Amino acid sequence: MNNGKINRVKDTIFKYVGILACSIGLILLAIFIGNILIDGFSRIDLDFLTSLPSRKAEKAGILTAWSGSLWIVVLTFFISVPIGVCAGIYLEEYGKKGRLTNLLEINISNLAGVPSIIYGLLGLEIFVRLSKMGSSVLAGSFTLSLLILPIIIVATREALRAVPSSIRAASYGLGASKWQTIWYQVLPASSGGILTGVILAISRAVGETAPLIVVGALAYVPFTPKGIMDEFTVLPIQIFNWVSRPQHEFSINAAAAIIILLIITFALNGIAVYFRNKWQKKLS
């Protein structure tokens, strides 16, 4: 065999290794989702979505859990996105390269790796106790916002960096100020990337349990939140609670609740992807 042939064989081998690597995750996910669907799909009906939690598995529902999750996600979105995007813009466009910026950057990357329960403890002290918000939806949302801010900031910076410098140059060339350039050119051009980061961040927030338990999210709440100061529970807590019950019927409930959680996540992502595509088309 000559060199060329050997290289082609190596090429083919690597291709199949790559396919295998990609499919492992997908296959496991497919098995997992398949399993959950078999266990839980038949359990989902209107009653399940509109009933309060109960000790009887067949009567129990997730009304308080999914409405709590929805409140948390929407609030978290409105708190974290403006702060995260602004911080990203500052660091990328205004921040002078110096000690302070360096320090900020290192800290933000570090924060992205802090275990979520630590954020829970932080939230408990700052929001629940010092700010006297109590174990409310608002305190939970602020805590989750802290948790996902680093993700949003990093994604925003990446997206801003990817905007071609020709766009900036042209804008300045036409006499636009820095702010005008950012607002009218750079931000719209990078909105796709920013939104992708936001999607990832929000999806993470939907699935978090540990920090919310620390903040004081409850397991049994017989009412849906009416305002941002109400107490709440969320889907992951309800799922965890059911999974740890000995009776088999509760695992079926848990599977059904997982399906709902997946649907909520997919729906949120779907909305974000829709907006991303719409804005990107506008640009080109």
Partner 1 sequence: MKKYYFNLLVVTALMIFVGCSNNKTTNKDTETKDIKIDGSSTVYPITEAIAEEFRNVAPNVRVTVGVSGTGGGFKKFSRGETDISNASRPIKESEALLCEENNISYLELSVAYDGLAVIINPENDWVDYFTVEELNKIWHPDGQNTLMYWNQIRDEWPAEEIHLFGPGTASGTYDYFAEVICGKKVGTRGDYTASEDDHVLVQGVANDKYGLGFFGLAYYEENKDKLKLVGVDNGSGAVTPSMETVSNGTYSPLSRPIFIYASNKAKSNKEVSDFVNFYLSNAKDLVQDVGYIPLTDEEYNYEIKKFADFLK
CA gap 34, 133 in Å, rounded: 41
Q: From residue 62 to residue 81, what is the string marking binding to partner 1 with x (rule CB under 8 A)?
A: -------------x--xx-x
Using CB under 8 A as the binding rule, whether residue 251 contacts partner 1 is answered as: yes
Residues 184 to 223 in contact with partner 1, rule: CB under 8 A: 187-188, 213-214, 216-223
Least CB distance to partner 1 at residue 20 (A): 28
Burial 9-18 (b: 16+ CB within 10 A, else e): eeeeeeeeee
CA proximity to 209, closest of 33, 69, 76, 110: 69
Closest to partner 1 by CB, 36 or 187? 187
Q: Say how many C-beta atoms besides its own lie within 10 A of residue 171's C-beta.
A: 18
Window 219 to 248, contacts with partner 1 (CB under 8 A): 219-223, 227-229, 231, 237, 241, 243-248
| C-beta of residue 147 within 8 angstroms of C-beta of residue 241 | no
Q: Which is nearer to partner 1, 28 or 263 (CB)?
A: 28
Do residues 204 and 269 make contact, with C-beta atoms less than 8 angstroms apart? Answer: no
Nearer to partner 1, 54 or 177 (CB): 54
By CB under 8 A, the count of residues binding partner 1 is: 43
Candidates 36, 43, 44, 53; binder of partner 1 (CB under 8 A) is: 53
User: Which of 72, 87, 89, 138 is in the footprint of partner 1 by CB under 8 A?
Assistant: 138
Helix (H) or strand (E) holding 31: helix 3-40
CB 187, min distance to partner 1, A: 8
Nearest to 62 by CA among 248, 217, 264, 256: 256
Using the minimum distance from each CB to partner 1, give the nearer residue, 102 or 244. Answer: 244
Cα–Cα distance measured from residue 87 to residue 104, given in angstroms and rounded to the nearest whole number: 10
Please identify, using beta-carbon distances, which residue of 93 and 105 lies nearer to partner 1: 93
Neighbours of 104 (CB within 10 A): 16
Tokens linked to 250: 């509760």
Return the residue matching tokens 């036409």. 174
Give min distance, CB of 155 to partner 1, in A: 17
Fill in the per-residue mask, 160 to 189: x = in contact with partner 1 (CB under 8 A), - = not in contact: -----------------------x---xx-
Residue 251 corresponds to which amino acid?
A: S
Residues that bind partner 1 (CB under 8 A): 52-56, 75, 78-79, 81-82, 131-135, 138, 183, 187-188, 213-214, 216-223, 227-229, 231, 237, 241, 243-248, 251, 279
